[in-house]
């Protein structure tokens, strides 16, 4: 893809490489209309009308409109009765399961059998073709886990050329290889950790001193792309196709980054699927296309998140992006550019739904298994006195009214686990969504608190 140069010529070609990367980013961004850059842009009236039409096609029960406190929300189109199901999502656009639960939570319906290993395993087709003779023991143990044959069959049916399966298993394989390298080379592990800590602190200090934080963040994303291309330019084309030659270039990731990468790959797969199934009338393809169009309209919160947790900038650009750029399978490589990956991460931060264990766990506690993203369900705002509840039924989620609703009343769910706690605790927890709650309950409690002073 890029002209290869000897090591001593890399610096002289840097400006050319930057121009090429910028051109590629702009070109790919224009082609991938379902994903936009986090950078704010002025939309034309036609685009606004198109977005409005799209959002109001989500449900006949409500419309997505601007709220009086900023942003958008869902408002009832007519009087609605308690227990009305106003929206349902049959499956997420993407989901990810925490690594400790990968063998215990179904990869299709999220069923959890109280810690038992699921019996239905989907292994790499490459291992089957090789009859496992040339595959390593660790590769042979890699699999995606499901609670039943129908769930596994559903996953296979929604895949294209095993791309999603092989992409997820590739992440698992590289994660394990990274762990094994650290295990057998402790001195190298120590050096890497020290270098990573130093680089992370340096980046955090630069971020704090930056006059324009948004510009600084954008520059670091572009630098990550340039660094990846410079490293890859040292390899011959045949070497790039062999992951054994890339393993030392691939950063070691932690389990949170592992989850993030699997979520991103899910979105990338959906993009590839829509781009390559334009003439396919399957309902799953149409659903993915609609959800991707809605995904485009979601708000990105990456700048706010990085302001609050500066270390994430290093994680996003130097680890997650580099891991994806160097290791992801060829069919989705063209989607891995800074604007797309940054957008995918940023739109997840305040729009993802947790994948939880059921309420009747033996010890009475719910456990977080991972998270999923339902684009069309991302416009419900929060209230500490919600009139709507989301009910998970496997990978499907439905939204049912808790009370009677008047026309034009906003439909709100609860975001936090602290709904039964006092005002200060609720307000503190909701800071993770980057807003100050001004629902009727909070305002009433604030007024009572101020009256006592």
Q: pLDDT per residue over 67-85, tens digit each?
A: 988 889 999 999 999 999 9
Q: pTM here?
A: 0.86
394 Ramachandran zone, left/alpha/beta (phi>0; psi -120 to 50): left
* Structure confidence at residue 27 (pLDDT): 39
Q: Which residue has the higher pLDDT, 192 or 259?
A: 259
pLDDT bracket for residue 451 (50, 70, 90): confident
Q: pLDDT per residue over 125-145, tens digit each?
A: 876 555 444 445 455 569 999
d(CA 408, CA 128): 57
3-state secondary structure of 343: helix
pLDDT of residue 49 exceeding 70: yes
* Structure confidence at residue 45 (pLDDT): 80
Strands 120-122 and 144-146: antiparallel
Q: pLDDT per residue over 145-187, tens digit each?
A: 999 999 999 999 999 999 999 999 999 999 988 777 666 567 7
For range 113-124, the mean pLDDT: 92
pLDDT of residue 32 exceeding 70: no
Residue ranges of the chain assigned to CATH 2.170.270.10: 45-89+352-451
Element (H, E) at 323: helix 321-327
For range 380-385, the mean pLDDT: 94
CATH homologous superfamily for 45-89+352-451? SET domain (2.170.270.10)
d(CA 312, CA 204): 9
Q: pLDDT per residue over 310-354, tens digit each?
A: 999 999 999 999 999 998 998 999 999 999 999 999 999 999 999
Q: Which residues contact 327 (CB under 8 A, 6 or more apart)?
A: 170, 171, 174, 243, 246, 250
pLDDT of residue 46 exceeding 90: no
């Amino acid at each position: 893809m890029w002209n290869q140069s000897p090591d001593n010529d890399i610096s002289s070609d840097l400006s050319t490489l930057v121009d090429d990367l910028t051109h590629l980013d702009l070109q790919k961004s224009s082609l991938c209309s379902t994903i936009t850059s986090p950078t704010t842009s002025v939309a034309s009236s036609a685009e606004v009308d198109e977005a409005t039409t799209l959002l109001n096609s989500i449900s006949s029960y409500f419309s997505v409109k601007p709220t009086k406190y900023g942003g958008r929300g869902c408002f009832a189109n007519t009087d609605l009765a308690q227990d009305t199901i106003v929206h349902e999502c049959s499956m997420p656009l993407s989901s990810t399961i925490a690594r400790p639960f990968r063998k215990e939570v179904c990869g299709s319906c999220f069923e959890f059998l109280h810690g038992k290993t699921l019996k239905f395993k989907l292994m790499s087709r490459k291992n089957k073709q090789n009859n496992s003779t040339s595959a390593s023991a660790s590769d042979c143990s890699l699999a995606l886990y499901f609670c039943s044959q129908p769930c596994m069959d559903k996953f296979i049916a929604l895949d294209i050329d095993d791309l999603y399966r092989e992409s997820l298993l590739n992440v698992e394989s590289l994660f394990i290889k990274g762990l094994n390298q650290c295990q057998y080379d402790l001195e190298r592990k120590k050096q890497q950790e020290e270098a990573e800590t130093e680089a992370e602190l340096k980046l955090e200090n630069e971020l704090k001193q930056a006059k324009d934080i948004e510009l600084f963040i954008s520059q670091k994303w572009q630098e990550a792309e340039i660094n990846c291309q410079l490293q890859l330019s040292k390899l011959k084309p045949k070497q790039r196709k062999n992951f054994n030659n890339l393993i030392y270039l691939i950063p070691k990731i932690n389990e949170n980054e592992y989850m993030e990468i699997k979520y991103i790959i899910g979105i990338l797969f959906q993009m590839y699927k829509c781009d390559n199934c334009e003439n396919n009338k399957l309902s799953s393809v149409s659903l993915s296309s609609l959800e991707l169009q809605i995904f485009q309209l979601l708000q990105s919160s990456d700048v706010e998140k990085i302001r609050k947790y500066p270390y994430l900038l290093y994680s996003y650009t130097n680890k997650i992006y580099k891991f994806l750029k160097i290791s992801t399978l060829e069919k989705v490589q063209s989607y891995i550019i800074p604007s797309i990956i940054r957008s995918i991460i940023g739109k997840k931060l305040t729009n993802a739904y947790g994948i939880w264990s059921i309420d009747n766990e033996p010890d009475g506690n719910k456990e977080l298994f991972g998270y999923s993203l339902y684009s069309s369900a991302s416009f419900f705002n929060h209230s500490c006195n919600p009139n709507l509840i989301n009910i998970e039924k496997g990978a499907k989620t439905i939204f049912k009214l808790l009370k009677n609703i008047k026309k034009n009343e906003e439909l709100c769910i609860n975001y936090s686990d602290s709904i039964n706690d006092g005002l200060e605790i609720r307000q503190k927890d909701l800071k993770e969504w980057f807003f100050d709650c001004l629902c009727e309950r909070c305002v009433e409690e604030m007024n009572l608190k101020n009256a006592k002073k």
